[in-house]
Structure 1
Amino acid sequence: MNKLPWIDVIKGFGMICVVIGHIYDGDISRTMFIFHMPLFFFISGYLLKPNKNFKEYLVKKTKHLIIPYASFLIPLYFAFRGFPEFKISGILSFIKSPLLGGRMLSGSLGVFWFVTCLFLTQQLMNYIIIKFNIKISIIMVFLMLALSYINSIFFPYFWLPWNANVVFAAAPIFYIGFLCKEFNIKLNTILVFVIGVIIIIGSYYIKNNTYDMKYAMYGIPGLTFISSVFLIFVIIAISKIISRLHFLKNFFSEIGKASMVIMYLHQPIQLSLRNNFGLSRVVLLVISITISYLIYLFFLRFILTRAIFLGSSLDMKKIRIANLFSK
């Protein structure tokens, strides 16, 4: 259980923003994209507990992120792609996308890029924070930010498996999150809200002030990065207010606890419903979050599902053939 009550709240609030960004388009979507994925890199940095045992940290995060990633990806990939031709060329073509991940996964699987990118970012930043002092770490992070802009501006079609190239853009945001916790950085709430409003209004006029991290589209160099960070601070301030309101706190906290399941499932659900039933966006938003949350509750009931879909290390240790579906 998180010691900070607003952490699950901000995950819930942020995940709702992710779903809104995928269901809506135009200015609403662009505004969500400024901060919604950067927010989760920031939170991950904020929650980082540096581990000097790199192998242990790698194993821990593999269990927590990569096993659920594969557990969701494999059945969904078969569901939407069908089965390959039983020829070498057909099989190789079929497995190419899930193995490379990142930009190769689109449509209902489009959000999966985030998990592998987050995993790589965590490994890299844990190593840097352990091995280097803060001055060297800041220099390295600035260099990564510069490389991300080179990728975005001069080589926009260049990408690496698992979206490893996006790590250069994610790491600076991750590191800011870490520093905010490490030095207990706090900003004036009123000032943050004022700047946030200015950024949102300005973004309606400056259309390219937005992020699409998956495709290495980082907006206006410097400005969009700063816009993203300030809007993250706005969301933190809102989440802290919500965490003092019992009903809203419980609602957003529950969504936050289910945030990874919602992330994996909201696109398959909402795209299937949109393509087959033509439902309104509000209805798609409510249904995709609700169904994903109910599936999360189902996964909580069993050792096996908690282990492979929720990444529970404790349940992975408990798994035995005789009690796979024990409560």
Structure 2
Amino acid sequence: MEEKKRDRLLFWDILKGIGIVSIVFGHSQNLGVAIRTVYYYHLAIFFFISGYLYKEERYGDAPFDFFARRLKNMWVPYFCYGGLFVLLHNLLSKYLLFLSDSDYGKKEMILAMTNTLFLRCPEGPSGAMWFVPLMLAAGTGFSVILWFCRNYLPDSFRPWAAAALCIGAGLFGTALIRREIFLNYHLQTALLMIPVYYSGYAVRTFKISLERYVTWYGAALCSGLFYYFLMFTGESVELSANQIPGGLNFYIISAAGIYLCCYVAKCLQKVPKTGKAAALIGRYSFDIMALHFLVFKICDRIYARMILEPAENQGGFPHSYPELHILYLVLGIVLPVLFAIGARKAIHGLGGMLRSRSGKSQVL
């Protein structure tokens, strides 16, 4: 039983690894078709995973507890990374890694820290972290819908009502985006993603076996669907810019992308070393998301010095040199993972040392 549970958790870590690698790949490339491909699914996969991992027995009747728990888990790393970027603002601007109109004084520093406190970090390196409040809002919206169904609807009607309300929230979000009504913290996009969140929840709740239903011929069919959308519709997805395909196409292409990711994760799980590497990347997905833009610009800086390029040519965002695409991708994943592992070890070591000193002082 324990082995099956470990295998199941490994699968979802691998799936997160596929998602974050897709995000870094999309940000590190200038290839139009490649970027459009990964943008079809690279954010949706995280909502699907979160829906599957949602603990109904713990939070089904306590949506506020769910919000508080998710806020704590997301806010702490967000503020740590965002605060670090604020502190580094003047240094990064001095070396032209991230262009700025002016340096921060004390007043500007406090204002930027306050914005970061409310999940609105204004710094260039934190660009990918716009996703954090979106994930928090979508999960909370889903939790509230489930709470309402559990407490105010009969048992027999509950599953259908939850599905209908989640779909309704998604359609409402779609309508807002189509009418160009954009809310704070991308709340219109959070509504759009609630059905994707529900789909992960449904897989777990209704015990849908991914091992059985995720197959090579299903993956081939989804690949064909991707090809059709890429070559014949011209439709793209860019959630940060509120760009989605028309009608239900967003959900169709997201479902196909999630299915393909599940198939890849299923294959990687059968290759122990590769699977464990992908799972490790997945476990540090937040750190990669937070740091990969900074890694890109450090690569730009070093490369520019090597080829004696003028500093003014390093101002591209998120990167400046197309020839470094593979380097951006590899280092944009590896360096944040190494940094996160080292930081965690240092924090744990410091905590252990402080506890040891505290224990000695109490004895004395």
CA 138–321 in structure 1, closer or farther in 2 if over 3 Å, else same: same
1:218 CA drift (Å): 1.7
Q: 1:27 aligns with which of 23, 33, 44?
A: 33
Runs of 4+ in 1 over 6 A off after TM superposition: none
Q: How does 1:74-85 map to 2 (within 5 A)?
A: 74-80=83-89, 84-85=104-105
- 185-194 or 238-247, which moves further after superposition? 185-194
User: Partner of 1:71 in structure 2?
Assistant: 80
In structure 2, distance between residues paired with 1:300 and 1:248: 23
Counterpart of 2:55 (choices 16, 34, 49) is 49
The TM-score, its normalising length taken from structure 2, stands at: 0.76
Alignment match of 2:337 (pick from 284, 293, 300): 293
Q: Read off the aligned partner of 1:227 and give its amino acid letter.
A: I
Q: Show the counterpart of 1:322.
A: 354
1:136 positional shift = 2.0
Task: Name the amino acid aligned to 1:147.
Answer: F
Q: Counterpart of 1:177 in structure 2: which amino acid?
A: G
**Partner residue of 2:236?**
210
TM-score (norm 1): 0.84
Q: Could you say if the C-alpha distance between residues 100 and 296 of structure 1 is closer, same or farther in structure 2, counting changes exceeding 3 Å?
A: closer
Percent of aligned pairs with the same residue?
18
Match of 1:311 in 2: none
Q: Which moved more, 1:266-275 or 1:253-262?
A: 266-275
Q: Is the 8 A contact 1:11 1:253 kept in 2?
A: yes
Match of residue 13 from structure 1? 18
Counterpart-to-counterpart distance in 1, 2:291 and 2:69 = 23
1:175 corresponding residue in structure 2: 198
Contact 1:13 1:252 in 2 (8 A): yes
Tell me, in whole angstroms, the C-alpha distance in 1 between the residues paired with 2:130 and 2:262.
Answer: 24
Counterpart of 1:40, as a letter, is F
The CA distance in 2 between the partners of 1:34 and 1:122, in whole Å, is: 20
1:37 aligns with 2:43: yes
Is the Cα–Cα contact under 8 Å of residues 89 and 123 in structure 2 kept in the other structure?
A: no
Q: Which amino acid is 2:295 matched to?
A: I
5+ residue gaps, structure 1, are 307-318
In structure 2, distance between residues paired with 1:127 and 1:45: 13
Q: Deviations over 1:182-239 (max 9, x none)?
A: 1122435134212221122123324643321222222232112211111101111110
1:89-137 Cα distance to aligned partner (Å, 9 max, x none): x5786467536656x8574221111111111222221221132122222
Match of 1:98 in 2: 116
Which digits, 9 at most, give the CA deviation of each residue in 1:165-188, with x for residues without a partner? 221111111111110111122435
- State which structure, 1 or 2, has the greater radius of gyration over its C-alpha atoms: 2
Moved more, 120-129 or 29-38: 120-129
2:127 to 110, 114, 121: 110
Distance 1:230 1:302 in 2: 41
Distance 1:148 1:36 in 2: 19
User: Aligned equivalents of 1:166 and 1:304: distance in 2?
Assistant: 37
Structure 2: how far apart are the matches of 1:124 and 1:324?
43
- What does residue 183 of structure 2 align with? 159
Residue 155 of structure 2: aligned partner = none
List gaps (5 residues or longer) in structure 2.
Answer: 92-102, 150-157, 304-320, 359-364
Q: Is the 8 A contact 2:86 2:109 kept in 1?
A: no
SS of equivalent residue, structure 1 residue 220: coil
Given that 2:214 and 2:259 are in contact with CA atoms closer than 8 Å, whether structure 1 keeps it comes out as no
**In the alignment, is the contact (CA less than 8 A) between 1:304 and 1:325 conserved in 2?**
no
- The match for 1:227 is 253
The CA deviation string for residues 223-266 of structure 1, in whole angstroms up to 9 with x for no partner, is 12211111101111110111111111121111111111111111
Taking only aligned residues, the RMSD between alpha carbons, in angstroms, comes to 2.9
Once residues 288 and 55 of structure 1 are traced to their aligned partners in structure 2, the CA distance between those partners, rounded to angstroms, is: 35
Structure 1 letter corresponding to 2:215? T
Give the 3-state SS of the residue equivalent to 1:294 in structure 2.
helix
Identify the residue that residue 119 of structure 1 maps to in structure 2: 136
Asked if 2 retains the 8 angstrom alpha-carbon contact of 1:66 and 1:116, the reply is no
The DSSP-based 3-state class of the residue aligned with 2:173 is helix
Name the CA distance, whole Å, in 1 between partners of 2:171 and 2:279. Answer: 36
Kindly indicate whether the alpha-carbon contact (under 8 Å) linking 2:169 and 2:195 is maintained by their aligned counterparts in 1.
yes
Distance in 2 between the 1:251 and 1:68 partners?
22
1:138 match: 163
For residues 262-298 of structure 1, give each alpha carbon's deviation from its aligned partner in whole angstroms, at most 9, with x where no partner exists. 1111112113423652461001111111111101211
